[in-house]
Amino acid sequence: MIIKMIGVSFIVSASGWLGLYKASQLSHRTKVIRQLRMDLEFLEKEIGFSRNPLEQALSRTAGVSCEPNKGLFTKACRELRSEPSTTAREAWSKGVAHLSKSGALTDEDLNIISLIGERMGTSDVSDQVRMLRQAGTEMKIQEEKSLRREGSEKKLWSYGGFLLGLMISILLI
């Protein structure tokens, strides 16, 4: 009986923890997207207003950002510093690869962020600002989607994990 009790509590807590983790991931994604939108706005000012060279603009953006987005800007900046003929597209794409390792964002989010690198640093100020604003708008849509998903799925995952654990335990007993 005691072994059964230990087994049930193990299954319920493991499955419950998994559910809570998934629920926290949902709200984490929203936070990361929101932070990224702010970072892109900062980068837009660095480029559009201060006209700082890209390397400096990325470094300064990394300075005001926080993880995991900070890693995106830091990595891209380091790549640009490593070899003068590295293109902004290559550097940004390595930054995005670094960001994807955090697992905070979906493929859809990462695709939007990757697109920024296509024209980064290669056109005049108005085009760069337009491109960053466009990315910001698309990230805003992603943030709203993420919020909606969070609203509908957070509770499901939070309680669902424990309930699923209980069901499995009942079936096994």
Partner 1 sequence: MSSKPAVPEKIQNQIIPYLAPKIKGCIANLPSAQLDQLEEIRLRLGKPLSLHMMKSEMFLGESGKLSRLAREGYIVTEDDVVRTLAAVSGNSVYALEEELKRGFITIRGGHRVGLAGKTILEGGQIKSMKEFSGLAIRVARELPGCGNTLMGRIMAERGRPHNTLIISPPRCGKTTLLRDLARQLGDELNVAVIDERSELAGCFRGEPQLDVGAKSDVLEGCPKALGIGMAIRALAPEVLITDEIGRYEDVEAVEECLNAGVKIISTAHAKDMEDLKRRPVMQEIFKQHSFEMVVILSRRKGPGTIEKLIRLD
Which residues of the chain form contacts with partner 1 (CB under 8 A)? 47-48, 51-55, 57, 80, 84-88, 91, 120-125, 127-128
CB of 69 to partner 1, least distance (A): 20
Q: What are phi and psi of 101, to 5 degrees?
A: -65, -25
**Between 119 and 154, CB nearer to partner 1:** 119
| Cα 53 to Cα 19: distance, rounded to the nearest angstrom | 45
**Between 32 and 54, CB nearer to partner 1:** 54
Q: Nearest 5°: CA angle at 107, between 104 and 108?
A: 110
**Between 122 and 152, CB nearer to partner 1:** 122
Q: Residue ranges of the alpha helices (H) in the chain?
A: 2-48, 54-64, 69-82, 88-100, 107-119, 125-172
CB of 122 to partner 1, least distance (A): 6
CB of 32 to partner 1, least distance (A): 25
CB of 104 to partner 1, least distance (A): 27
123: buried, middle or exposed (CB in 10 Å: 19+, 13-18, 0-12)?
exposed
**Side-chain-facing half-sphere of 95: CA atoms under 13 Å:** 29
**Between 51 and 101, CB nearer to partner 1:** 51
**Between 79 and 109, CB nearer to partner 1:** 79
CB of 61 to partner 1, least distance (A): 14
| Cα 53 to Cα 85: distance, rounded to the nearest angstrom | 15
